[in-house]
Structure 1
């Protein structure tokens, strides 16, 4: 069981080891540890060794610690309980006149490294949950680009929602080995203290990568870093109240949103997932949105397609490449399970073609539902209706009118997320729509934004007043911090009214405070005016920074018409070319294709493209709803969009827009063919695998709006060496379903 033990809102946070099913890698051995624990005096002597400060100060005398928000990360072998580490570090910090102790947070953790080595890790932060600063730090050191914290209402503690522990800045992170052990393997953790990273490489400390890595700002070739970043997760049920309304959800390591995944471009991720979902039990999988999985298509994380679900009580390890630079997210792909909370940000640090000063980090915008996700699926599948969301969140926070909580326990003034800007600096924000259905419009009062990347694809920068994000889409923006040092303004994300939003409360707020602003004061800024359209920016605006020209003619073209209506039994479903998808958890399509199978049940919606080198899809619909169409395994060219019949015109044919999600505009059935919405996409068939192409509206996907692209089945059979863990996971799933009934009420993905 993964447990978090906190003592108050600050001070020691003891994150214990994780016992994953039959693999207890980090179980504590209390008796042995206590027998070898040094005294406080001995530990303090160890802390003052010069080597411990080598990575955080250029001073020759160790007691003088420099730095602001992120001072250091320390690691010791076979050393004491974290309760000894914290007072010792505080005593040491008290010796430094440059440190304001009341603004110091110290976190300590005891865990066991693979191979039987006990490790105590400690991290020092100079900002608490109220964002107080250490005075006397230089502007360059302050790290004002904070995110993930909350403005708490009356009676709220620091353990509400995302406020207490997520996504700290990485400006002064370091990993330091003991002087006495040259063979020690360094240990490093993410800035969330939730997903541990075991690695010898330090994540970037400043923009444009670290100085120790040979990156160039306009580098196009993915480097081979030789680094693997390991994370250990437990997925389980819990109760949360991010907007003040208590509800049961399913979370990664007990957090909402889940802990961030972080790596350098070219690194490898190794994420071990333990399924501890109980009461009732469910299977699960995790999808790494936007990563192409060119070397590892079996780790795409889609049940019935690339893998069997992870059975309750079982553990599965995903290993995949950080093959694109920028921001994205991970989420469960088992039914609509991610709506219950199994999702979080993913940041891959790499070169940027536009300079910036401060990386503010991920900004996740999401519609939010108070009802359990399976009840929402049941409400949707088979009926002509879609559920309405109850609220709209930024980084997992927003207040809610408790009079509308319908009897659920509710705390008013739950608070909003807050961020720091610094006057005169260029701020990088990484926007992610991690919601279920709603199209979002993102704005910052009194500030314009420059778009520099969409869905991992750098674009020629252009300025906007608002950013439109369909579900699954990401946009990176640069914001000029033109305000004065005492300014406070609202960050906003609004769900588009009507069929594009489907919500009871469309407005999400977060507070931005400049460096000298009073964080106890509510911003009074005026909202930006914009036109609320249910579509992405014009294709003529979104020009990829690095050009790629599609073939003059695709090897094959497929027309797919998307409709909604009753099937043969009278249930309302979403169909693509008159077929609604329904997966079979017991038989992953990729594993069958690897065995030479190319004939599949009709409801699996498999499109076999044989040895085609390029594929063009013409999607059409009269349905009066938007569809954020997502393709796995590829960045697709978006050749054209519009209404009526596509006339063959391609927008900027020498360099069309590329991304992995594009909003397909709502159709207008009253106008007949003239009201038909179309979207034309194309991609090279250069990544053998079985790749989902689906609407990322969770309710449309549950209703079957999904097809499988079978790409180069000849190479899947001939060359693909699928690891044994995939077969083992299926055996565990088959054993579980042999004794338990799995009630699959929707498409399954």
Structure 2
């Protein structure tokens, strides 16, 4: 084992020296501001642009290059802070460039600038997105491509794609008005209005005959998972989340939010043909499917740019029985969904470097995923009864401002509800994640690729039927060469186990990459090697980072409560909402909400009924009596707008009744 790891390290070091010899600085100057666009052709809305460009610029560089990006925040109307996470980057010795605000930096407010400066010490397919104000679904995201001298596979040309879901309102508005409210006690996630490929619908790409293409694909969506396939053709998977794999042939693959793949696809000899690249939404994630939501989107690869590409029908998309889990089953077309499609099992992928299973862990942590309500009636997401609540001081700054190494190694100082785990340097770490929720979740670890050593199928139809991971009673065999990636899906009522080496000192976020679940608090922190962190980061934080904290009035020294005198005094720390009283369950919340709603609606109907029986002329005379105005004529009254057009009924009343009509979801873990 030690010989294998030493050999891998030597090969990696030699490759790095080769890359550094040809490395260059890539200096970019970005101004971030709002722009009005219409990506799906259905509704104009504001999106985030960079240098007035949307879709945002693709980031590209070579392994060993240094990225220096100066970001000027001009997001003023509405006001939004800015940060960027370069998803999948290890950020070795540059944890302060990782992006999550209140974790390792402060985000930058409007009319300020922030400089990102880090080395591309990996290759593969990645992406970048903001980690602030739930705004990456507002367009603040794009693919990131890092090239290598000699990848372990051959191809002729390359195409890159993003797949995403799309909402017609700003995400922060959806969150505040519809999602994290008392009126959505079950936490039903907002369903998107459209699906996009490269931030548009049904794009065409010119390809050549007899050519092998590397297709680099990233799911940059907020919520949806996608199945993608090329109609009538197989492809070869050669990369997952920046980790090259042994070639694996597939007819379709599932790509969850934040995951990436490279696949090889070879065109045929025909000079007048087209190939359909199909994106199908995982509709099992949605609590309700609107009638006007199209659950698929298609791109065409064409050998003739004048080729006509007719819109695909449902029959075209689902008639390929090679994709069906059971091709002998006679499924009515209207009943056929993404759940009937058989896709490649990514757990079987083998990294091309054949890195063996890591040894037994030095540290192991077990977390339980639950979604339920707190005292304010809102549905939150929890690891072990903790919904992530950020500290008053960015956690990295607490590490370096602690009075000594011993204090910095005590997880207490980082706050109860940041849910911190302190990792010792170079330990093998194992995380067991048990999902007691009825939905699947793609979990992302910052700063690392991890080995996925266990992933169970869905076990039971409810949390009472599910049995958490227990190797003493469950027949578990670990892979010899486990798949490595940075984002892994746990299935409903199921679990996974991951391992990695704590060889990258930093504060690393671990969270669900469904943006709605992150806003609900489904996150925790790994404080990795704090003693080594203090040696690395104490004197290297750039001035623009301190300036952002000053502009946001965020303290930069002290424990989670910003106490600099006694790091073990956490009085005043940010805390999650209080628990519900004992015995008050999510079902009780729903019942209470419906009772209150019904009462208000009942009173509303009585008032409306009483007013509707009032003669128009009598109502007008009453208005005249109150306001001492001229009594309008009967004709004037007939020409007035109906009560339904009045501002109260048209806006507040409509929103209220819309909430009544909205189906509540199934996302409650405590349904008793």
Q: TM-score, normalised by structure 1?
A: 0.63
What does residue range 436-515 of structure 1 map to in structure 2 within 5 Å?
436-482=222-268, 484-499=270-285, 504-514=293-303
Shift, 1:486, TM fit: 0.3
User: What CA distance in whole angstroms lies between the structure 2 residues aligned with 1:560 and 1:451?
Assistant: 31
**Which is greater in Rg?**
2
What does residue range 181-260 of structure 1 map to in structure 2 within 5 Å?
223-224=19-20, 225-244=22-41, 245-260=43-58
Shift, 1:651, TM fit: 5.3
Aligned equivalent of 1:174: none
- CA distances 1:576-608 after superposition (whole Å, capped 9, x unpaired): 110001224x52111111122441222212112
- CA distances 1:126-158 after superposition (whole Å, capped 9, x unpaired): xxxxxxxxxxxxxxxxxxxxxxxxxxxxxxxxx
Matched, 1:542 2:358: no
What does residue range 663-702 of structure 1 map to in structure 2 within 5 Å?
663-667=489-493, 677-702=494-519
- CA distances 1:237-261 after superposition (whole Å, capped 9, x unpaired): 1211011121122222223321011
Aligned equivalent of 1:364: 162
Query: Do 2:387 and 2:417's aligned partners in 1 also have CA atoms closer than 8 Å?
Result: yes
Unpaired runs of 5+ residues, structure 1, are 1-214, 399-415, 668-676, 738-743
What does residue range 531-610 of structure 1 map to in structure 2 within 5 Å?
531=324, 532-533=338-339, 537-538=344-345, 541-584=348-391, 587-596=393-402, 597=408, 598=410, 599-610=413-424
Query: Do 1:574 and 1:703's aligned partners in 2 also have CA atoms closer than 8 Å?
Result: yes
Q: TM-score, normalised by structure 2?
A: 0.70
Shift, 1:271, TM fit: 0.9
User: What CA distance in whole angstroms lies between the structure 2 residues aligned with 1:342 and 1:443?
Assistant: 26
User: What CA distance in whole angstroms lies between the structure 2 residues aligned with 1:470 and 1:735?
Assistant: 34
Shift, 1:610, TM fit: 3.9
User: What CA distance in whole angstroms lies between the structure 2 residues aligned with 1:322 and 1:722?
Assistant: 19
Matched, 1:727 2:546: yes
Query: Do 2:276 and 2:300's aligned partners in 1 also have CA atoms closer than 8 Å?
Result: yes
Aligned equivalent of 2:310: 522
Aligned equivalent of 1:427: 213
Count of residues paired in the alignment: 497
User: What CA distance in whole angstroms lies between the structure 1 residues aligned with 2:389 and 2:356?
Assistant: 35
- CA distances 1:593-651 after superposition (whole Å, capped 9, x unpaired): 11224412222121122446121000011211110000000001101011444353665
Higher relative contact order (CA 8 A, sep 6+): 2
User: What CA distance in whole angstroms lies between the structure 2 residues aligned with 1:745 and 1:489?
Assistant: 53
Report the CA distance shift for 1:307/1:536 in structure 2 as closer, same or farther (over 3 A). Answer: farther
Shift, 1:701, TM fit: 0.4
SS in 2 for 1:543: coil
User: What CA distance in whole angstroms lies between the structure 1 residues aligned with 2:204 and 2:288?
Assistant: 26
Matched, 1:706 2:504: no
SS in 1 for 2:547: helix
Query: Do 1:438 and 1:501's aligned partners in 2 also have CA atoms closer than 8 Å?
Result: no
Query: Do 2:387 and 2:576's aligned partners in 1 also have CA atoms closer than 8 Å?
Result: no
Report the CA distance shift for 1:638/1:724 in structure 2 as closer, same or farther (over 3 A). Answer: same
**Structure (1 or 2) with the greater helix fraction:** 2
Shift, 1:722, TM fit: 2.9
SS in 1 for 2:451: strand
User: What CA distance in whole angstroms lies between the structure 2 residues aligned with 1:462 and 1:261?
Assistant: 27
- CA distances 1:207-226 after superposition (whole Å, capped 9, x unpaired): xxxxxxxx99x968772133
Aligned equivalent of 1:104: none
Report the CA distance shift for 1:381/1:641 in structure 2 as closer, same or farther (over 3 A). Answer: same
- CA distances 1:415-470 after superposition (whole Å, capped 9, x unpaired): x3211221111111001000001110111122211100000000111111112100
Report the CA distance shift for 1:313/1:470 in structure 2 as closer, same or farther (over 3 A). Answer: same
What does residue range 617-656 of structure 1 map to in structure 2 within 5 Å?
617-642=431-456, 643=459, 644-648=467-471, 652-656=478-482
Shift, 1:709, TM fit: 0.5
SS in 2 for 1:262: strand
- CA distances 1:166-197 after superposition (whole Å, capped 9, x unpaired): xxxxxxxxxxxxxxxxxxxxxxxxxxxxxxxx
Query: Do 1:539 and 1:651's aligned partners in 2 also have CA atoms closer than 8 Å?
Result: no
